[in-house]
Structure 1
Amino acid sequence: MRSSIMTLGGDQRARATGRGRGLASRLMFAQVLVLLASVLTAAVVAAFVGPPLFHQHLLEAGHAPNSPELAHIEEAYSDASLVSLGVALVIALACAAAVTWHVTGRMRAPLSALADAAREVSRGHLGARVDASGSGVEFDELGRAFNLMASRLEQTEDTRRRLLSDLAHELRTPIATLTVYCEGLRDGVTTWSADTERVITEQTQRLARLAADLDDVSRAEEGRLALDVSPTPVRDLMWSAVQARREDFAQEGVELVADDAAAARSQVEVDPRRIGQVLDNLLANALRHTPRGGSVRLSALAVGDSVEISVADTGDGIDTDQLLHVFERFYRGDSARDRQRAGSGLGLTISRAIADAHRGSLVADSDGPGQGSTFTLTLPRTPAHRP
């Protein structure tokens, strides 16, 4: 056991020593090894191949095999070869050092900038970026990849902060209401009555609905939605959505019209329960923004390989600037600031996430305030019903 521990410690020290060597020393060491191998190869070739060839040429030139001049010339050749190899090795080492210094200098600058930016990101400064160094395509690509990663991290952090802020804002109202009523009941300021029960029940249900919506939107955006996909007639989806909301529309005095004639025989590959949730959210949103005497129209249209299901209302409409934000978490237009009319602010976010999970889409359109709005859900048709 002791020897194993000692061996492990030695390996760790060796790895630490390897990490301690810089890029310049490693590159120089590699070049020296290549140069030594090259010089050694040249020396071996010169020692075993050069002298016999040189001796043969001297004999062919007319020198006697045993003459003193022949031995002296061959010795001079060997000395010249050795000196030449030595001088060449020194010059090659000097050139290798110069090239290593230049290359490592060009490489060290972008790597140091990248390391500094990475340290800044690790400290929470997500705005750190690296500039294009011009040291090569690979370094520029590495810099772009780092900047993209930092941008994504910054966006994720902004989303997290905004979500926590919005969540705290959403929780504040029901919690404050429940606290006031609990303190009133405890101090005897108010008594338990039907109104008290109704308020406490509404606020409790609101908290439960908010928790369920948060769970749904998190699972949807993380791709963890469990979908039970099957071929489903578009008419069945529309009929179920209308029946679920018909009484609410009647109580508010808003006309609800369903028109499935353009897609009567179409089927879509969806999870009926999840798409029913989307249509219910869209109808509820249209009802909240449509005054008494207005109308909401649910229609479907087969377009190529898809079916477009639209919910159009004659209500408040959406400003052009607001169209960019209607699918964000907790976003509400000005006309929905009344907490009695507004939902959790997550319905449209969940709806778009469910549409994306079905390889479809959900978009909003409006001509402006007071001109009504239209939400269009696009879903893929079943292969048998595609043109």
Structure 2
Amino acid sequence: MTPRRPMRRHALATRLLAGQAVVLLAGALTVGLVAALVGPPIFHEHLLQTGHPQDSPELAHIELAYRDASFISLSLGLLISLLAAGAVSWFLARLLRRPLGLVTDAARELARGHYATRVPDVGSGTELDTLATSFNVMASRLEGVEDTRRRLLSDLAHELRTPIATLAAYHEGLTDGVITLTPEARTVLVEQTERLARLADDLDEVSRAEEGRLALTRAPVLAADLLRAAADSVRDPYRSGGVDLRVDVDPAPDLLVDADRTRVGQVLTNVLSNALRHTGPGGTVTLSAHRDGAEVVLQVRDDGEGIAATQLPHVFERFYRGDSARSRDRSGSGIGLTISKAIVDAHGGTIDATSAGAGTGATFRIALPSPQHGNGREGHARSDEPVSPSNLHKT
């Protein structure tokens, strides 16, 4: 840790004392001038009113005594004030020096990239404790951002490694003549190339959503239509996987949501694909909708693997791998749910996942504003409106 300069340790006390001294000197000068210009004439007039002659020796002696007494009194008052100011400045500097020094040292360490640095609780007063608490919150968030960045880079390298290694191996084999360009080899090359392209597209999609560059064409749309369209888009893979996909819109057939039909369909498809990957043959996935206050909730519930409690807070993070079987399949990029959250946030809605634990299934809730009740966060729907970053929640 870089040592602190001694001069800076006393700079605060020096500035406090100097400030107090300037104020006191200005006050003393003002009082002295007022006393010298106003006091003697008034005192002289009162002496004359008591019957003292104008040229009386006693009158001159009394006025001299008045001036000396005033000067001594003001001097002693100024001296006592300066001593008191010095004591108060020293006390305040001592009270503030340690917590401010701790915050300064912590900020210096944070600037050097030591994001685990925290300011200890020094108990020096409400304002300083609030400053220390705010600093620690900021440091925690920076540490979280740094951890996410490191994990993102690591997972991105992991995602790129397999297709690049496959393409490199086939390229080397084709160059050396060990492999011929058969239909099977061509299929592998196309699949890995498409995987890289899909990863690039997904990353761009997340970036555009989180940076507020998504264009939403919002309009009132029936929730039942969204659910049926999403179910139709994944009907074949569900049938192939032996999973029963049900759409339950009978309790609320007329619910409207204020949404971009294509984007919300993308969200539902991502969630349904995730549910299919983690629901075994013979399982059931149910799509439903219901009203919750001013919002309409689109719900996807499965009876598959479930999600552990420790994984629930991270299911929407990019490339999160709490359970490799749950986080992605072989062809997925691992950020489908991240994209879904960014799209829902752009609508001013929320998406969350709940599960009672492993083997109990999972439920994803997508809450979107209803035009029937207005949208307190987004205002009226507008077509082709770029999403402002201020309307996006943290992903």
Q: Which of the five TM-score ranges fits, normalised by the shorter chain?
A: 0.7 to 0.9
Query: Which consecutive residues of structure 2, in runs of 5 or more, have no partner in the other structure?
Result: 1-7, 376-395
Cα deviation 1:275-327 (Å, max 9, x = unaligned): 11111111211222233343332222233322222223343333444334332
Q: CA deviation at 1:339?
A: 4.6
Partner of 1:197: 186
Kindly name which structure, 1 or 2, has the bigger radius of gyration based on alpha carbons.
1
Query: Which consecutive residues of structure 1, in runs of 5 or more, have no partner in the other structure?
Result: 1-18
Aligned counterparts, 1:126-205, within 5 A: 126-205=115-194
Partner of 2:267: 278
Segments of 4+ moved more than 6 angstroms: none
Q: Which of the numbers 30, 41, 50 marks the counterpart of 1:52?
A: 41
**Is structure 2 residue 353 aligned with structure 1 residue 374?**
no
Q: Give the Cα separation in 2 of the matches to 1:152 and 1:361.
A: 21
Partner of 1:24: 13
Deviates more, 1:201-210 or 1:27-36: 27-36
Asked if structure 1 preserves the Cα contact closer than 8 Å seen for 2:263 and 2:343, the reply is yes
Aligned counterparts, 1:1-387, within 5 A: 22-332=11-321, 333-336=323-326, 339-340=329-330, 343-383=332-372
Q: Give the Cα separation in 2 of the matches to 1:62 and 1:338.
A: 108
Provide the secondary structure at the position in 2 that maps to 1:177: helix
Amino acid at match of 2:62: I
Cα deviation 1:60-105 (Å, max 9, x = unaligned): 4443332222212222222222233233333332332222222222
Amino acid at match of 1:351: S
Q: Give the Cα separation in 1 of the matches to 2:35 and 2:239.
A: 104
Distance change (3 Å), C-alpha of 1:37 and 1:365? closer
Q: Give the Cα separation in 2 of the matches to 1:261 and 1:292.
A: 26
Q: Give the Cα separation in 1 of the matches to 2:180 and 2:334.
A: 33
Cα deviation 1:210-232 (Å, max 9, x = unaligned): 12222222333444433222111
Q: CA deviation at 1:20?
A: 12
Q: Give the Cα separation in 1 of the matches to 2:72 and 2:374.
A: 87
Cα deviation 1:97-139 (Å, max 9, x = unaligned): 2222222222222222211111111111112222344433322
Asked if structure 2 preserves the Cα contact closer than 8 Å seen for 1:266 and 1:385, the reply is no
Superposed CA RMSD: 2.6
Q: Give the Cα separation in 2 of the matches to 1:45 and 1:22.
A: 34
Q: Give the Cα separation in 1 of the matches to 2:129 and 2:102.
A: 12
Higher RCO by CA contacts (8 Å cutoff, separation 6 or greater) = 2
Q: CA deviation at 1:39?
A: 1.6
Q: Give the Cα separation in 2 of the matches to 1:337 and 1:133.
A: 43
Distance change (3 Å), C-alpha of 1:30 and 1:245? same
Bigger helix fraction: 1
Amino acid at match of 1:355: V
Q: CA deviation at 1:385?
A: 9.1
Asked if structure 1 preserves the Cα contact closer than 8 Å seen for 2:300 and 2:365, the reply is yes
Q: Percent of aligned positions with the same letter in both sequences?
A: 54
Asked if structure 2 preserves the Cα contact closer than 8 Å seen for 1:360 and 1:380, the reply is yes
Q: CA deviation at 1:242?
A: 2.1
Asked if structure 2 preserves the Cα contact closer than 8 Å seen for 1:262 and 1:302, the reply is no
Provide the secondary structure at the position in 1 that maps to 2:89: helix
Asked if structure 2 preserves the Cα contact closer than 8 Å seen for 1:263 and 1:307, the reply is no
Amino acid at match of 1:159: T
Asked if structure 2 preserves the Cα contact closer than 8 Å seen for 1:267 and 1:385, the reply is no
Provide the secondary structure at the position in 2 that maps to 1:330: coil
Amino acid at match of 2:167: L
